[in-house]
């Protein structure tokens, strides 16, 4: 059972408190309490029914601690982190506005650090892009009419490889999080598909060069080191 864990009652409570909200209030409306409450409930249900539980896009330090303790208790639980929660924090609203709006929302730098720690200690099992290619026209709507979500497929691997260059993560851990663990957790059939990367290639993320039809990225302007140059699928090579 894969769960997006945010408690709707907690969200509505905050909506009633915050009048005339702007996108800068998004992380307050979809509060950390909403995430913690939902994760706690999901784990209790998983214990009760013996369900294998997958928590999508964990965003707070508190969730990680709850998940870590559940794992110690033998609950079959897995946790996912996203690149935007690893590399961005709530200060991004000032520069990006609604382009930084997502669910669950961006959190504090302390939460970002906790997610990296969760990768290191094995609490985080997978990295998911949570790719949501809303158009710039949609994103230009005045909050809260603007949709939540950001594109992420093309930048996931370069971001992780750049973090590897900075000494934050090993190549073996990247493979484990993006290939090995998802294959095991979801019982995916084995294949010999491969991604060929140039570990030293440095490129700036430019909206004009993206393949995604929405044509933008919250990481536009970032210089990343380590890019895919080809993929091998069903023994056929496709250059990028």
Give catalytic residues, as residue numbers.
Answer: 130
Asked if 122 contacts 176 with a C-beta cutoff of 8 angstroms, the reply is no
Matching residue, tokens 């230009």: 140
Nearest CA among 30, 32, 40, 36 for reference residue 8: 30
Asked if 101 contacts 146 with a C-beta cutoff of 8 angstroms, the reply is yes
The neighbouring-strand residues paired with 24 are none
Q: How is the beta sheet containing 194-204 ordered, strand by strand?
A: 194-204, 223-233, 236-239
3-state secondary structure (DSSP) of residue 117: helix
Q: What span, in angstroms and rounded, lies between the C-alpha atoms of 224 and 227?
A: 8
Q: What span, in angstroms and rounded, lies between the C-alpha atoms of 89 and 86?
A: 8
Nearest CA among 45, 44, 9 for reference residue 29: 9
């Amino acid at each position: 059972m894969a769960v997006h864990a945010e408690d709707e009652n907690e969200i509505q409570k905050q909506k009633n408190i915050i009048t005339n909200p702007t996108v800068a209030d998004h992380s307050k409306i979809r509060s950390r309490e909403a995430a913690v409450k939902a994760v706690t409930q999901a784990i209790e249900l998983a214990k009760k029914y013996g369900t294998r539980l997958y928590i999508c896009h964990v965003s707070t330090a508190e969730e990680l601690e709850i998940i870590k303790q559940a794992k110690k208790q033998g609950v079959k639980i897995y946790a996912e982190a996203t690149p935007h929660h690893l590399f961005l924090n709530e200060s991004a609203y000032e520069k990006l506005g609604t382009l930084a709006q997502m669910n669950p929302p961006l959190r504090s730098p302390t939460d970002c650090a906790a997610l990296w720690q969760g990768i290191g200690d094995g609490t985080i099992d997978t990295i998911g892009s949570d790719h949501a290619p809303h158009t710039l026209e949609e994103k230009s709507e005045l909050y809260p009419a603007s949709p939540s979500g950001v594109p992420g497929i093309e930048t996931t691997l370069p971001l992780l490889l750049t973090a590897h260059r900075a000494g934050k993560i090993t190549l073996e851990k990247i493979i484990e999080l993006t290939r090995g663990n998802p294959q095991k957790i979801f019982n995916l059939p084995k294949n010999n598909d491969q991604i060929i990367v140039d570990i030293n290639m440095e490129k700036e993320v430019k909206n004009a060069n993206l393949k995604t039809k929405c044509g933008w990225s919250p990481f536009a302007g970032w210089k990343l080191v380590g890019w895919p140059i080809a993929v091998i699928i069903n023994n056929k090579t496709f250059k990028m």
